[in-house]
Amino acid sequence: MQGQKREQWASKFGFILAAAGSAVGLGNIWKFPYVTGQNGGAAFVVIYLIAVLIVGFAVMVGEFAMGRLTQKNIVGTYTQLQGRNWGWIGWLGVFCGIVILSYYSVIGGWTIRYLVSALGGVSHFASEGGAGQFFSKFTQNGKEVLLYQGLFMLLTMVVVFRGVASGLERWCKALMPALIVLLIVLVIRSVTLPGAAAGVSFYLKPDFSKVTGTTVMAALSQAFFSLSLGLGTMLTYGSYLRKDVDLPKSALQICALDTFVAVMAGLVVFPAAFAFNVQPGAGPGLSFVTLPVLFAKVPLGQVWAFCFFVLLFLAALTSSISMLEIPVAYLLDRGWSRPKASTLMAIIIFVIGIPSAIGDSLGWSLFGKDIISAGSYLSDSILMPFGGLMICLVAGWFKRGSVLTEAGLGASKALTSFWFFLVRYVAPVAIIAVFLSGLKG
C-alpha cells in the first residue's frame, strides 16, 4: 500500500532461517524418499543433486533479486518489470501456491495425527503390518483426515496473521537445529539395523541404465518443490529483504541445507525400509510407514517418535506459511489488512483442499491419479518449472541489467557471474530439455 512502509525481516539470519524454513519441509522428509524410491534409487539422487545446483540455485537467486528489486508480490513484480501483459504469469504463481497448499495441508494434518498417536505409545507400530495398517486405516477415514487438515490450516493462518518478523521469522529460528540433530540420531539407528545394507546400497549405488526422461523430470520437479521455487515464495521473501544481504551466498546456503536434510531423510528411510521389508517404491506412505516401525525399535521410542513428529509438523508449518504468504502478500499490496487477507485465503484454501482430504476414502481420481498426486503433478511438473523458466527469462534476458546489479549487491563477483551464466543459459535450456524429454517419457 502506498505510504505504508513495507514489512522487513528483523535480521539477515532471520531471513535465511525463514527461507530455509520454507524450503525444508515435507518435501524433504515425506516426498524426497518416496520419489527416490519410485525412481530407482541412487541414480535419481545424483540427477537431483545436479538439478539443485544448476537450476535450483539459479532460479532462487533470480527470485530473491527480482523481489528485492521491485519490493512487490509476484503479480506486482511481473507487472512492474514486464508490463501488464505479464501479470498472468504472476497469477499462475499465486494459483500454484493455492494448489500446493490445498494438498500440503492434508499431509501436514497427517503429521499432527501421528504426533497425537505417539502420545499413546508406539507399540502398535512394532511391525510393518501394524504401521501399514494404521496408515491405511487413518488415510481411508475421510472425516478424520479433514479434521486434521483443518487444524493444520488454522495454525498456518495464525502464524501468517501475525506478520513477517513476529510471525514467520520467529517460528523458524529454533527448529532447524533441533530437526537436524534428531535426523542424525535416526540415521545412526537406521543404518545399524540388521539388513540395512541393502537399503544403503539402493540409495547410494547408482545404476544409470534405469534413467529415463521421466526420471530426469521427476528430479527437476522435486528440486522445484523442495526449494520452494517457481511460484513466487522466494520472490516474496526477497521483497522483505534489506539491500545489504548477499543473495547468491544466501541461496547457496539454503540449497545446501535443504539438500542435506533430504539426503539425510533418505538415509533414515531406505535402510529401515529394507530392514523391515517395506517396498521402497511404496509411494506417499513410505516415510509414514517406515519411520514409525523404526521408532518402535529404539529405546525410548515413544519420546523419539513424539519429538520427530513435532519437528516434522513444525517443518511443514514453516513451509505452509510461506505458501499462504504468496496470495496474502498480493492482497496486502492491494491495501487489505493482514488479518483479513490471511483469514480469507486460509478459508478458501481449506475448501479447495477438501477433495484432497476425503478423496482417498471415497476413491476419487483426477486425470487417472488420486487427488493428491494429480495436484502435485500439476504444481511440481508443470506450474513450478514453467514459473522457473519465466524467472530465468526475465532475470537472464529481459531485465538482465537491473536484476544482475541487484543480485550482485554486496556479493562476490565470481559467484554472481557464475549465477548469471547459469540463469541465462544453463537453467533455461535444462528446463526446456527436461520438459521435452519428460513429455516423451
- Burial of 165-186, coded b for 16+ CB within 10 Å and e otherwise, reads bebbbbbbeebbeebbebbeeb
Instruction: Give, in order, the Cα–Cα distances in Å from 308 to each of 182, 183, 304, 331.
Output: 7, 8, 6, 35
Determine, following the binding rule CB under 6 A, whether residue 25 of this chain makes contact with ligand PHE. yes
Min separation Cβ 233 and ligand PHE, Å? 4
Determine, following the binding rule CB under 6 A, whether residue 261 of this chain makes contact with ligand PHE. no
Determine, following the binding rule CB under 6 A, whether residue 70 of this chain makes contact with ligand PHE. no
Rule CB under 6 A: which of 295-324 touch ligand PHE?
Answer: 319, 322-323
| Element (DSSP H or E) covering residue 35 | helix 32-38
Q: Applying CB under 6 A, which of residues 14, 21, 27, 40 lies at the interface with ligand PHE?
A: 27
CA of residue 256 relative to chain centroid, distance: 14
DSSP designation for 378: I
The cell for 78 is 511481473
Min separation Cβ 313 and ligand PHE, Å? 12
φ, ψ of residue 369 in degrees (nearest 5)? -125, 165
Q: How far apart are CA 336 and CA 52, in angstroms?
A: 36
Find the angle CA(97)-CA(99)-CA(104) to the nearest 5 degrees: 85
Min separation Cβ 412 and ligand PHE, Å? 26
Task: Fill in the per-residue mask, 94 to 113: x = in contact with ligand PHE (CB under 6 A), - = not in contact.
Answer: ------x-------------
Q: For the chain, what is the total number of helices (H) and then of strands (E)?
A: 23, 0
Min separation Cβ 373 and ligand PHE, Å? 16
Q: Applying CB under 6 A, which of residues 110, 225, 274, 313 lies at the interface with ligand PHE?
A: 225
Q: Tell me the CB-side half-sphere exposure of residue 279, using CA atoms within 13 A.
A: 8
Q: Applying CB under 6 A, which of residues 16, 28, 118, 219 lies at the interface with ligand PHE?
A: 28
Determine, following the binding rule CB under 6 A, whether residue 233 of this chain makes contact with ligand PHE. yes
Q: How far apart are CA 179 and CA 107, in angstroms?
A: 18
Q: Applying CB under 6 A, which of residues 23, 155, 289, 372 lies at the interface with ligand PHE?
A: 23
Kindly indicate which of the ranges 24-32, 49-57, 78-86, 248-256 contains the residues binding ligand PHE, using the contact rule CB under 6 A.
24-32
Q: How far apart are CA 59 and CA 220, in angstroms?
A: 12
Determine, following the binding rule CB under 6 A, whether residue 251 of this chain makes contact with ligand PHE. no
The cell for 268 is 533414515
Determine, following the binding rule CB under 6 A, whether residue 77 of this chain makes contact with ligand PHE. no
Instruction: Give, in order, the Cα–Cα distances in Å from 5 to each of 42, 77, 159, 322, 334.
Output: 48, 17, 21, 21, 14
Min separation Cβ 310 and ligand PHE, Å? 16
CB 287 within 8 A of CB 30: yes
CA of residue 220 relative to chain centroid, distance: 13
Determine, following the binding rule CB under 6 A, whether residue 90 of this chain makes contact with ligand PHE. no
Rule CB under 6 A: which of 139-198 touch ligand PHE?
Answer: none
Kindly indicate which of the ranges 3-11, 133-141, 225-233, 285-293 contains the residues binding ligand PHE, using the contact rule CB under 6 A.
225-233
Min separation Cβ 369 and ligand PHE, Å? 19
Q: Which is nearer to ligand PHE, 26 or 357 (CB)?
A: 26
How many residues touch ligand PHE under the rule CB under 6 A: the total is: 15
Q: Which is nearer to ligand PHE, 261 or 341 (CB)?
A: 261
CB 320 within 8 A of CB 309: no
Nearest partner of 110 among 135, 87, 89, 133, judged by Cα: 135
Determine, following the binding rule CB under 6 A, whether residue 132 of this chain makes contact with ligand PHE. no
Contacts with ligand PHE, residue ranges (CB under 6 A): 22-23, 25-28, 100, 225-226, 228, 231, 233, 319, 322-323
